[in-house]
Structure 1
Amino acid sequence: MTTGPGDTGPPRRWSPTVPGGGHHGAAGGPPQASGVSAARAAVRSAVRDDAEARARALLVVRLTIALYLAELLLNLLRPHVQPHEPALSIFERTTRLSGSVGRLLATPRTVFWLVLAGIVAGVLLQVLVMATRPDERRARTLTWLTVAVVLGPFGLIPLTVIAEYPLQALACVPGTAFALALLHFGQRFSRIPAMMLLAAFAWGALVVFGLGRAASNLAFGTLYGFMGDGAQSDLTRLAERQYDALDVVVVHSGVVNALVVAAGVALLLVLFRHRVTDAVTGLVVGAAIGLGYNLVESTLIIRLFGTLSAFTGTTGGFEYWVRQSIGLLGGQVAFGAVLGAGFGLAAQARRRGGRTRAALAGLAAAICGAIATETLAAWLSRIVHDHVSVGGPLDTLVVSPFLWLLPQAPFIVVAVLLLAVGTRARAAAARDAVAAEAASGTAITRWEAPFLADPALRFWSLVSTGRLYGRGSALALRRLQLAQLDLAAWRWQHPGVLDGPAKEEGDRLRARVMLLRTRPGIRPAAAPRPGQVTP
């Protein structure tokens, strides 16, 4: 289905054959790299690890830490409602709880000290970089070490949740794995690396949940201090102010979580290169971040509501049904998808004003969706449950899930529409890019172009190859097609005549395609005879 370099005479098609019996070039092909070397090469080729990308990554980390330090400063400046309150509200021991719940509530205090230590260590590392001006390899190592020591402590909170409630976490794994696979395999024409998808998932599970929880813990103490100031002698008013502070914390959590999700989307779009950066790319990255957050949140809520079911009337099984079954792709997944799509459109926009509007629209949608889910769903539930039996089959299977999903419905619809429109635009751009690459070189030939530009034909070619030559040959052909789509994606992003790093990147992608042609499982076949129908 492809034409190799240096061929003469009429065009020949390349067809897969059984691995081990394929064409290896004149010298037998290049030696196979070891698994570790291949993994390192994949990381180097997928991540844009140059000085500009590292500078932007450090900027994202600084802004994230600035958000947490602002929470600390406000907490330090709050009025003290009770006598002998500590300087920071997270050090106040208002209750003495033992067991896993007590350890979980104590985690933010540990995070506080580790974050401070991480900030100091990060500053020292950056001072070392500026003082010594190390080479590229050492600068890369020091930069990513800085990111790890500064953001790593926030991951203690979700890791504590998962370690304390392992059965609930394991129960959430099948649904989460299914949703991740859907995000990975549901992309068309150009697929983001699995490493990028897993990095987005980890950002949501560790950083978004951890930083959001730590910031909300501080925010509650801050809000309660300002709202309860002047009501120290009235216990009833203090209790009312406490509930008012909790209501505001809901809004605060929606804003903080969306900002940290946005930071993760921006960071990943900067670091990963030669992938199509559009609405679909951002949507998939944002949804993966929301899915990571949803895993830890579901684990915690299923456990807590299961423990407090006698008081709240809600069971852990119901929370699992809502959050990991019928509403798995709603909530934070849908809001992250809309936010990510906005950032993907911003990365694609040519004018600064267009970039700003697209990014702010996605951020505002994610914030509004999170707040609406927490507030409108509870309000609707109070109204409806005056007329519907609470806890019955109708309420459990239909009414309560419907009320929870209703505020999310507009955002889910927007995410689906963005995916449909983005996929259609990507299809048109992919056809043009594949045709342009086929006309300018041998990495994609005119025999392969129709297959690469049409997902149905591409799938049919893989199935036919598997039937004729076996599974190994089908996988070899698939790897070749994915490499060719990566090259087409690069051409889409760089349509003009290029030089410098952009041209080097294109040359590397073309070399990878030609290398895959020499691997076992791909060999030249006879040219089609006149009148013969060939793919």
Structure 2
Amino acid sequence: MTGPQAAEPPREDSPARDRALLFARVTIALYLLELLLNLMRPHLSPNEPTLSIFVRDPGASGSLGRLLSMPKAVFWTVVAGIVLGAALQVYARITRPEGRREAALVWATVAVLLGPFALLALTVVFSYPGDALLCVPGTAFVLAVLHLGQRFGRVPLTLLAAAFGWGALIVFGLGRAFSGLALGTIGGYLLPRPTSSGSALDDLNALGGQVRDQFRMIDLAVLHLFVVNALAVAAGVVVLLLLLRHRVVDVVTGFVLGAATGLGCAFVESVLFIRLYGSLTFVNGATGGFEYWIRQSIGLLGGSVLFGALLGGGLALALTGPRENRTRTVLAAFATAVGGTAGSETLAGWLSKITHEHLSAGGTFDTLIASPALWLLPQLPFAVVAVLLLVTGLRARAATARTAILARAEPGGPITSVEAYFLADPPLRLWTLAGTWKRHGPAAALAVYRLQCAQLDLASSDPEAGGPLRAKVMRLKANGLTRAGAAS
């Protein structure tokens, strides 16, 4: 069956460990390459630091200065993590541990290699706890929608939390760390050294060229950021799907995990941009409140959440679909995520520039309607694709779920024929819960809900790996009968 997943971890996570370790190694190799390119870049001024991430703009202070810089402590923690991770891998190669020791060593290596990048996100959140708390209600709402909006079982909250944490800590941290280096590297090659020709006209032309070069530099750095983010989101989704390989996953599973990962990244980005735009009000007139309205209200399901869902759904489709179509499906998912994000941001900026030539910025109509519409309009085609993908996936899940539930039905077993009839029909399941609540109270309704979830998990499991789930269902049934006997 292609359906819901269980909260229990699989008994053997070797494929997920291998992919996680491979991603960590590739990430560090690419980061070292970024460092090398940054070290070799042309310097624009004699006193410029060896690494561009240590450049400090004298005019940037306070929150703006902290947001646009790479903390030295974080950088050296990343370097220390690389050294420690290399030492752990050498130790593993020498000792060749097996079983749980091997698993613990692999996960520890992944943690020390990737964990330091999470400090970038933690720095943002803990530097501005008030802004982070403002973003909690909207984020919790989307997590609830992702958890409750599935039929025939749900991706457990533990998995949603893992995906959200990966997006908030690793995806955001990697994106900022890589793109911070890339911005300096690209600027070193694109931006000319500051000179003065003595002619006012020549200086003015040179200034115009510098402005154009700076915009090109920013465009390339932003595209670089979108690529890094997409790769990091994909890695997290793939690892989580492999951790669930004892469950038959489907498009909906990848869709939900990808959306939760994008939501984590969007949470930290919202804190960053709320504070950043609040600091730049004197420059462009934008405010932190407007940024909150765009990112945590009207556009809560857009941006990183939308494109993360499309990427996750595409990866799950590639994993469960025909082998000969996997490469094309994966490439299409990446092209949609990267191209869609870059295209939407670019088109939204272009539309905003044209519109605000005829519409005053900052007014009530602009704040509540025009600007949100201009940000969401380029994403509309991708939102339509996401809805179609989700509806198709839910229908496929429902059809397969009914067959699997009926196949599991047996007299006196974990799923009886009567229970199968109710489990296969979501409205009937809801009616059962409502009736139980009305007759026996919320505790009884909660017990029935847990039993139904466990039965759906059992129906969705691999028959050869369903033993623990079968025992769980029988235990929940026995506990229910015990409580009913005590109540009577």
Task: Show the counterpart of 2:212.
Answer: 240
Q: Which one of the candidate residues 283, 288, 299 is aligned to 2:271?
A: 299
CA distance in structure 2 between the partners assigned to 1:48 and 1:89 by the alignment: 46
* Local SS of the residue matching 1:126: helix
Q: Relative to structure 1, is the Cα distance of residues 523 and 93 closer, same or farther in structure 2, using a 3 angstrom cutoff?
A: closer
Instruction: For residue 229 of structure 1, report the CA deviation from its aligned partner.
Output: 5.2
Task: Show the counterpart of 1:512.
Answer: 472
Q: Is 1:311 paired with 2:311? A: no
CA distance in structure 1 between the partners assigned to 2:354 and 2:68 by the alignment: 33
Could you tell me which amino acid in structure 2 is paired with residue 151 of structure 1?
Answer: L
CA contact (8 A) 2:401 2:460 kept: yes
CA distance in structure 2 between the partners assigned to 1:68 and 1:453 by the alignment: 49
**Unaligned 5+ runs, structure 2:** 1-5, 197-202
Q: Is 1:206 paired with 2:179? A: no
Task: Show the counterpart of 1:22.
Answer: none
Q: Which one of the candidate residues 30, 36, 51 is aligned to 1:67?
A: 30
CA distance in structure 2 between the partners assigned to 1:48 and 1:283 by the alignment: 24
1:36-58 CA distance string (max 9 Å, x none): xxxxxx97x32454333321221
CA contact (8 A) 2:64 2:279 kept: no
Instruction: For residue 423 of structure 1, report the CA deviation from its aligned partner.
Output: 0.2
Which is helix-richer, 1 or 2?
2
Task: Show the counterpart of 1:477.
Answer: 448
Task: Show the counterpart of 1:38.
Answer: none
CA contact (8 A) 1:107 1:156 kept: no
1:252-303 CA distance string (max 9 Å, x none): 1111111111111111111234444111000100110111111111111111
Task: Show the counterpart of 1:176.
Answer: 139
CA distance in structure 2 between the partners assigned to 1:188 and 1:48 by the alignment: 26
CA distance in structure 2 between the partners assigned to 1:137 and 1:255 by the alignment: 35
1:5-48 CA distance string (max 9 Å, x none): xxxxxxxxxxxxxxxxxxxxxxxxxxxxxxxxxxxxx97x3245
CA contact (8 A) 1:204 1:291 kept: yes
CA contact (8 A) 2:45 2:193 kept: no
Superposed, which structure 2 residues align to 1:355-370 within 5 Å? 355-370=326-341
1:357-392 CA distance string (max 9 Å, x none): 222211111111210232111111111111112111
CA distance in structure 1 between the partners assigned to 2:18 and 2:235 by the alignment: 14
Q: Relative to structure 1, is the Cα distance of residues 520 and 308 closer, same or farther in structure 2, using a 3 angstrom cutoff?
A: same
CA contact (8 A) 2:57 2:65 kept: no
CA distance in structure 1 between the partners assigned to 2:352 and 2:69 by the alignment: 32
Instruction: For residue 125 of structure 1, report the CA deviation from its aligned partner.
Output: 1.3
CA distance in structure 1 between the partners assigned to 2:228 and 2:134 by the alignment: 28
**Unaligned 5+ runs, structure 1:** 1-41, 495-502, 526-535
Q: Which one of the candidate residues 72, 76, 87 is aligned to 2:50?
A: 87
Task: Show the counterpart of 1:196.
Answer: 159
1:160-208 CA distance string (max 9 Å, x none): 1111211111111111111111101111113112111001101111111
Could you tell me which amino acid in structure 1 is paired with residue 181 of structure 2?
Answer: L
Q: Relative to structure 1, is the Cα distance of residues 160 and 230 closer, same or farther in structure 2, using a 3 angstrom cutoff?
A: closer
Could you tell me which amino acid in structure 2 is paired with residue 508 of structure 1?
Answer: P
Task: Show the counterpart of 2:421.
Answer: 450
Task: Show the counterpart of 1:401.
Answer: 372
Segment of structure 1 superposing worse, 197-206 or 254-263: 254-263
CA contact (8 A) 1:477 1:522 kept: no
Task: Show the counterpart of 2:319.
Answer: 347
Whose Rg is larger? 1
Task: Show the counterpart of 1:379.
Answer: 350
Instruction: For residue 439 of structure 1, report the CA deviation from its aligned partner.
Output: 5.3
Could you tell me which amino acid in structure 2 is paired with residue 88 of structure 1?
Answer: L
CA contact (8 A) 2:254 2:309 kept: yes
* Local SS of the residue matching 1:422: helix
Could you tell me which amino acid in structure 2 is paired with residue 478 of structure 1?
Answer: Y
**TM-score normalised according to structure 1 size:** 0.83
* Local SS of the residue matching 1:447: helix
CA contact (8 A) 1:306 1:314 kept: yes
1:125-156 CA distance string (max 9 Å, x none): 12222222224222222122112111111111
CA distance in structure 2 between the partners assigned to 1:201 and 1:277 by the alignment: 19
CA distance in structure 1 between the partners assigned to 2:444 and 2:51 by the alignment: 63
Q: Relative to structure 1, is the Cα distance of residues 472 and 273 closer, same or farther in structure 2, using a 3 angstrom cutoff?
A: farther
Segment of structure 1 superposing worse, 129-138 or 196-205: 129-138
* Local SS of the residue matching 1:518: helix
CA distance in structure 2 between the partners assigned to 1:414 and 1:48 by the alignment: 36
Segment of structure 1 superposing worse, 125-134 or 257-266: 125-134
Task: Show the counterpart of 2:244.
Answer: 272
Task: Show the counterpart of 1:252.
Answer: 224
Could you tell me which amino acid in structure 2 is paired with residue 190 of structure 1?
Answer: G
Q: Which one of the candidate residues 287, 292, 296 is aligned to 1:320?
A: 292
CA contact (8 A) 2:311 2:334 kept: yes
* Local SS of the residue matching 2:222: helix
Q: Which one of the candidate residues 357, 362, 381 is aligned to 1:410?
A: 381
1:464-485 CA distance string (max 9 Å, x none): 1222222222211211111111
**TM-score normalised according to structure 2 size:** 0.91
Segment of structure 1 superposing worse, 416-425 or 149-158: 149-158
Q: Relative to structure 1, is the Cα distance of residues 404 and 522 closer, same or farther in structure 2, using a 3 angstrom cutoff?
A: farther
CA distance in structure 1 between the partners assigned to 2:164 and 2:414 by the alignment: 33
Instruction: For residue 59 of structure 1, report the CA deviation from its aligned partner.
Output: 1.3
CA distance in structure 1 between the partners assigned to 2:411 and 2:118 by the alignment: 48
Q: Which one of the candidate residues 167, 188, 191 is aligned to 1:228?
A: 191
Higher relative contact order (CA 8 A, sep 6+): 1
Q: Which one of the candidate residues 70, 94, 99 is aligned to 2:62?
A: 99
Task: Show the counterpart of 1:281.
Answer: 253
Segment of structure 1 superposing worse, 298-307 or 422-431: 298-307
CA contact (8 A) 2:252 2:313 kept: yes
Could you tell me which amino acid in structure 1 is paired with residue 250 of structure 2?
Answer: D
Could you tell me which amino acid in structure 2 is paired with residue 55 of structure 1?
Answer: D
Task: Show the counterpart of 1:425.
Answer: 396
Task: Show the counterpart of 2:91.
Answer: 128
* Local SS of the residue matching 1:196: helix
Segment of structure 1 superposing worse, 247-256 or 439-448: 439-448
Could you tell me which amino acid in structure 1 is paired with residue 414 of structure 2?
Answer: A
Q: Relative to structure 1, is the Cα distance of residues 296 and 274 closer, same or farther in structure 2, using a 3 angstrom cutoff?
A: same
